[in-house]
Amino acid sequence: MPKTEVKIIGFLCNWCSYAGADMAGTARMKQPASLRAVRLPCTGRVNPLLVLKAFREGADGVLVSGCHPGDCHYNEGNYYARRRLEVLERMLPALGIDPARFRYTWVSASEGAKWADVVNEFTQQVKQVI
Amino acid sequence: MIGVFVCQCGTNIAATVSTDRVVQAAKSMLGVVHAESIQYTCSDPGQRAIIDAIQQKGLTRVVMAGCSPRMHEITFRRAIGRAGMNPFMLEMVNIREQCSWIHSGIDETTEKAIDLVRKGVARVRRQKPLQPGSSPVARRALVIGAGVAGIQAALDIADAGIPVTLVEKSPTIGGNMARLDKTFPTLDCSSCILTPRMVEVKQHENIKLMVNSEVEKVRGYIGNFEIDIRKKASCVIEEKCTGCLICQEKCPSKAPDDFNACAGESKAISIPFPQAVPLVASLRKEYCRLFISGKCSVCQKVCPADAIDYGQEDTVVTEKFGAVVVATGFGLYDWKQSYPTYGMGMYPDVINALKYERLLSASGPTGGHIERPSDGKEPRDIVFISCIGSRDESVGRPQCCSIGCMYMAKQAILTKEHIPDSQSYIFYIDVRAAGKGYDEFARRAQTDFGAIYIRGRVGKIYPRGGKLVVMGTDTLAGDQVEIEADLVVLATGLTPAEGAGGLARRLNISTDGQGFMAEGHPKLKPVETNTGGVFLAGACQGPKDIPASVAQAGAAAAKVIGLLSREEIETSPMVAEVNQLKCTGCFKCRDVCPYGAIENQDAMGGQVAHVIASLCQGCGLCNVACPPGVISLKGYTDNQLIAEVVEVLR
């Protein structure tokens, strides 16, 4: 039976995805109430251990979202994030965590609709595997 | 001593979040001594209530649950600052954009709001007072692009006594407006309005004009940009050239006439148009016989001023700027591939409106006589088609070009003036004429100048006996329409100017789905960008007409003047900090820092890392890279982030 209520931690960069999430809100794009966003200056500030900490504390899913590669407010922060998170994603099975509960993605400040889609899809995905 | 204030935002929040339940929950959170719900926290009485509570209850930390921090963080920092608190002892909790507006069930929405407030309380409990730094401001502005918006911005800034460098990539300033014949809705002659401004730019003591130049590299930050500008070789010594045009006359190499939207032909060495500023020739090597085959140098022989220098090389100038205005304008959508039924460019008499504008212009290639490109005949029946590559989802371009309806009406009026027995037909979707005097103008095209407006799209254009058959629908009459036209003019959509995307990346500003540069906030920061000190003017931010471009340029100039009238600016205190006692001196932080803000320092009996606070932009990359975890981003410390995660999942 898929779980109906899930809690997802979102680590969002201030410049792109947090602004994109705001834009989805301003446009009243309905989303499941699953996501709790933590605002950061940059996805490059996301320590992979922080993601694991969230899982350890009981998060059903963790979503990291930042600026598109090439568009980072700090020039290259999301490149570091991409490498770190790519490695993390591959390590998750070894730690006993279904990688379907983790996602990293790029959503810009003008992509409100994309943000709503990401939250909807990822919530569905997490519900399937929890 | 934490105070929690829950904003109802009228019903924006209160409709889906039970603010009372949030307040009740907040009261039991660790460290919270005061919690209340306020109808509008950002209003004057709202801010007053917060200040009173701080002073009466002796609050030392504040959690504001309401709109996005991107909206009002500054507002509330100032408010608690007025109450005598350190402005950074504030945490904004977003229960509007990311909560009340996107969920409907009051229980789940309230539960989420409580989670978010608990997260905010945990975070602010670990917040330390921060003191903003300051950095000096370079008192010079850079304006990129010298169309009407760039010219206006440069003049406004220069008139305030601030030195400006105006960079233009083409050989002359003036931009797209210089190519227009008349302007709507007054039918003012475009160059009569613009050229005096262009001359003013050239003569202004505070403006340094650089044509044939592009921004190559951008370093630094608000108040302290260091920018490389490449001046491309034009093979003409600008100071010597008198603009006599003899070189252009004698040049044997033909070249496309970009200025005239390729309605005419130009030469490899040329001055784009008679009122060009600066009035200086420039040579395009790709069309020059000398550079292609090695034989020529006619221009050098005939030049009476000895201004030709074939060996001229690009130069790169590096300058310091306090602020940047981007005014790169627009380009036109290339319709040929997306509208195959219009002939894909095979019919010479299907042209875009800018080319038509050049045919109307007295300074254009035909001297203001309308001659159709195929055979030079004067057209009688002219069809205008709106919304080509705009308002058309089928080609992925949903945006309105915002000027097409108006310039089609203008061109129909001008056509009638040029050729009294002509007939204009305008295929339109809606006539969007929302500006001052616009609707009256568009109606005059029908009532006084006999333009026939047909509501509908054109499905196909094909040639028949020297004419073009335009097949479309009239959706009001519910009929098929077939018009035999001599000339078809397409109102093509606007795109960002060529190269705007690369410039945006160099300046580190974002772009929207169509590639236009993104403003800081659609309502409240229409000329700012997300990068401090970089402002937008004109159509680089989105399609707009001349009055709107000029207005935005003035607004951008005002922002620049405000910024550069200060000697120092406040810098964010949210920078990295090293605990040098525990630093092992591996310098991984230094290696990842995009700003060179970390240096080696002799301390603690060895080499350790040290953050140059004025260079640090607060990205936090170093924070993650540090193996012993002793470099930390103030305001986003590991402790704070872990606490947020733990509390929100509690």
Question: What are B112-132's pLDDT values in tens digits?
Answer: 999 999 999 999 999 999 999
Choose the CATH number for B334-492 among 2.102.10.10, 3.50.50.60, 2.30.29.30, 3.30.390.50: 3.50.50.60
Across the strands, what pairs with B331? B495
Q: Do domains B141-232+314-330+505-564 and B334-492 have the same CATH topology?
A: yes
Q: Which two tokens stand for residue B628?
A: 């012993």
The alpha-carbon gap from A12 to the nearest alpha carbon of chain B, in Å, equals: 12
Q: Over 80: is that where the pLDDT of B264 sits?
A: no
Q: In angstroms, rounded to a whole number, what is the distance separating the alpha carbons of residues A107 and A22?
A: 12
Specify the pLDDT at position A1: 43
- Which 3 state secondary structure label does DSSP give B483? strand
Q: Which two tokens stand for residue A65?
A: 């979202």
Q: Sketch the domain layout of chain B as residue ranges.
A: 2-125, 141-232+314-330+505-564, 246-302, 334-492, 575-633
Choose the CATH number for B2-125 among 1.10.287, 3.40.50, 3.30.1340, 3.30.420: 3.40.50
Q: Which two tokens stand for residue B42?
A: 């950002």
Least confident of B154-158, B288-292, B411-415, B567-571: B567-571
Hey, is the C-beta of A31 within 8 angstroms of any chain B C-beta?
A: yes
Specify the pLDDT at position A4: 62
Looking at the partner chain, which of B119, B510, B513 has a beta carbon nearest the beta carbon of A71? B510
H or E element, residue B645:
helix B638-648
pLDDT band at B512 (very low <50, low <70, confident <90, very high): confident
3-state secondary structure B529-561: CCCCCEEECHHHCCCCCHHHHHHHHHHHHHHHH
Highest CATH level, class, for B141-232+314-330+505-564: alpha beta
Quick one: which of B120, B131, B130 has its CA closest to B2? B120
Least confident of B3-7, B217-221, B277-281: B217-221
User: What is the dotted CATH code of the domain comprising A8-129?
Assistant: 3.40.50
Q: In angstroms, rounded to a whole number, what is the distance separating the alpha carbons of residues B560 and B528?
A: 10
The alpha-carbon gap from A14 to the nearest alpha carbon of chain B, in Å, equals: 8
Contact check, Cβ <8 Å, B619/A47:
no
Specify the pLDDT at position B521: 86
DSSP B216-273: EEEEEETTEEEEEEEE---SB-TTT-----HHHHH---EEE-TTTTTSSEEESEE-SS
Q: In angstroms, rounded to a whole number, what is the distance separating the alpha carbons of residues B429 and B427?
A: 7
Specify the pLDDT at position B154: 98
Q: In angstroms, rounded to a whole number, what is the distance separating the alpha carbons of residues B490 and B497?
A: 19
Q: Please list the rounded mean pLDDT of every run of 10 residues in chain A (130 residues).
A: 78 95 95 96 97 97 95 91 97 96 95 96 95
Q: In angstroms, rounded to a whole number, what is the distance separating the alpha carbons of residues B282 and B305?
A: 14
Specify the pLDDT at position A3: 54
Longest dimension (CA), chain B: 92
Q: Over 80: is that where the pLDDT of B31 sits?
A: yes
pLDDT in tens, B387-436: 999 999 999 999 999 999 999 999 999 999 999 999 999 999 999 999 99
Q: In angstroms, rounded to a whole number, what is the distance separating the alpha carbons of residues B29 and B21?
A: 13
Looking at the partner chain, which of A7, A28, A41 has a beta carbon nearest the beta carbon of B620? A41
The β-bridge relationship of strands B269-270 and B282-283 is antiparallel
Contact check, Cβ <8 Å, A30/B104:
yes
Q: In angstroms, rounded to a whole number, what is the distance separating the alpha carbons of residues A6 and A127?
A: 7
Q: Which of the residues A35, A76, A110 would you substitute to probe the B interface, choosing the one with the greatest number of B C-beta atoms within 10 Å?
A: A110
**Residue B596 near residue A49, CB atoms below 8 Å:** no
Specify the pLDDT at position B614: 83
Q: Over 70: is that where the pLDDT of B282 sits?
A: yes
Contact check, Cβ <8 Å, A41/B648:
no
H or E element, residue A117:
helix A112-129
**Cα distances (angstroms) measured from residue B307 to each of B135, B246, B266:** 44, 12, 20
Contact check, Cβ <8 Å, A19/B70:
yes
Cα B648 to chain centroid distance, Å, stands at 38
| DSSP 8-state code for residue B493 | P
Q: Over 80: is that where the pLDDT of B317 sits?
A: yes
Helices B546-564 and B148-159, packing angle to 10 deg: 30
Q: Which two tokens stand for residue B529?
A: 């960008």
Cα B195 to chain centroid distance, Å, stands at 24
CATH architecture label of B575-633 = 2-Layer Sandwich (3.30)
Contact check, Cβ <8 Å, A9/B649:
yes
Q: Over 70: is that where the pLDDT of B325 sits?
A: yes
Q: Over 90: is that where the pLDDT of B244 sits?
A: yes
pLDDT band at B307 (very low <50, low <70, confident <90, very high): very high
